[in-house]
Amino acid sequence: MSILVSARNLVKKFGSLTAVDGISFEIREAECFGFLGPNGAGKTTTVRMIHCVSPVTGGTLIVNGLPAHINNRALKKMTGVIPQEIALDNDLTVYENLIVFAHFFDIPKREAKKRIAELLKFVELEAKRNSKIDALSTGMKRRLLVARALLNNPKLIVADEPTTGLDPQARHLIWQRLRQLKSQGVTLILTTQYMEEAQQLCDRIVIMHQGQIFKEGVPSKLVEEEIGREVVEVRVPKEEDEKIIQQLSSFSCGHERVGDTLYFYCRDGQGLMRRMIELDLHNYLTRPATLEDVFLKLTGRGLIE
């Protein structure tokens, strides 16, 4: 599979602040690549450089064989952007928002009309064609942003936290549409703080923190490698840690104490659970390991600000 985006030692500085600190990655054609990280990790800054709205400070960034640059209209023409903020034109109706945007991409009027009809169907907004933006729910606005990003038949879609603030129905609809696009061969770049979203959509992810890439890989493998299969959370006073850790030492689990909870990361969760019952421990919870555990382990369970 060919490489669509390739970054080498990519750096972005805002004055004295280094937002992206020398990262390297490659995004293949037709995959979904996710940037995960807490607020301020540098995810949005990175994707903004990829879709050519923010200049690169250092390193190289090649997209579709061309260096990413704010004046690179050819790259902007083949890219669809679903922005983090709901940046719709409030003075215009749903349809006008799309037709005006189609102009920006030089799409001829007849073709634009046809495309808009298809897209409104695709995001299930046909009934809202002539509504003003104020009259739409947040979910509808996000769907309209998806439709707008698809007007130019993009080869690359950049979705910057596309489901922030949505209810489950709206979120699943957007996920389905994004998966549908991927199956049509579109390359998808996603930033998200929702681990479930990354697991649902991404073929490969990088976990970013403070402008750097901590880890790169396939979501399920990352979970397996970093955490194991199961997580057991035990809520006991800190003083009992040593005793419990010793009692469970035969299961060769990793463990970590955060706040009121002692976490065990293991492969054999069932054996561990039986042992817990024998030990007569009450306040515990066993669950499958998720990307969230990887994320929290790597970036620290403390509050990041």
Partner 1 sequence: MNLSYRIYYVFLRNLVSYKRFVVPTFLVSLIEPLFYLITFGIGMGAYMGQFGGKPYLYFLVPGVLVSSVMMSSTFECLYGTFVKMIHEKLYDSLIATPVSAEDAVAGDIAWAVFRGLVSGSLMMLVAILMGILPGSLLSSLLLLLLMIFVGILFASLAMIVTSVSPSFDFFNYYTELIITPMLFFSGVFFPLDRFPAWMKTLSNFMPLTHAVKISRAVFSGEYESGLILNFLVILVLEMIAFYIGIKMMKRRLIK
Where do contacts with partner 1 occur on this chain (CB under 8 A)? 14, 51, 53-55, 70-71, 73, 76-77, 79, 81, 83, 85, 87-92, 96, 99-101, 103-106, 152
Q: How far is the CB of 193 from partner 1 (least distance, A)?
A: 20
Q: Based on CB atoms, which residue is closest to partner 1, 85 or 280?
A: 85
Q: How far is the CB of 214 from partner 1 (least distance, A)?
A: 25
- The side-by-side arrangement of strands in the sheet containing 58-63 is 17-28, 3-14, 58-63, 66-67
Q: Based on CB atoms, which residue is closest to partner 1, 73 or 114?
A: 73
Q: Based on CB atoms, which residue is closest to partner 1, 103 or 121?
A: 103
Q: How far is the CB of 92 from partner 1 (least distance, A)?
A: 6
Output b/e per residue, 108-145; b: 16+ Cβ within 10 A: eeeebeebbeebbebbebeebeeeebeebeebbbbbbb
Burial of 158 (0-12, 13-18, 19+ CB in 10 A): buried
For the chain, the C-alpha Rg in angstroms (whole number) is 22
Q: Based on CB atoms, which residue is closest to partner 1, 83 or 228?
A: 83
Q: Based on CB atoms, which residue is closest to partner 1, 106 or 225?
A: 106
Q: How far is the CB of 80 from partner 1 (least distance, A)?
A: 9
Alpha-carbon gap, residue 124 to 128, rounded angstroms: 9
Q: Based on CB atoms, which residue is closest to partner 1, 21 or 268?
A: 21
Structure tokens at 93: 């109706």
217: left (phi over 0), alpha (psi -120 to 50) or beta: left
Q: What 8-state DSSP symbol labels residue 90? A: T
Type of residue at 70 = I
Q: How far is the CB of 132 from partner 1 (least distance, A)?
A: 9
Q: How far is the CB of 200 from partner 1 (least distance, A)?
A: 25
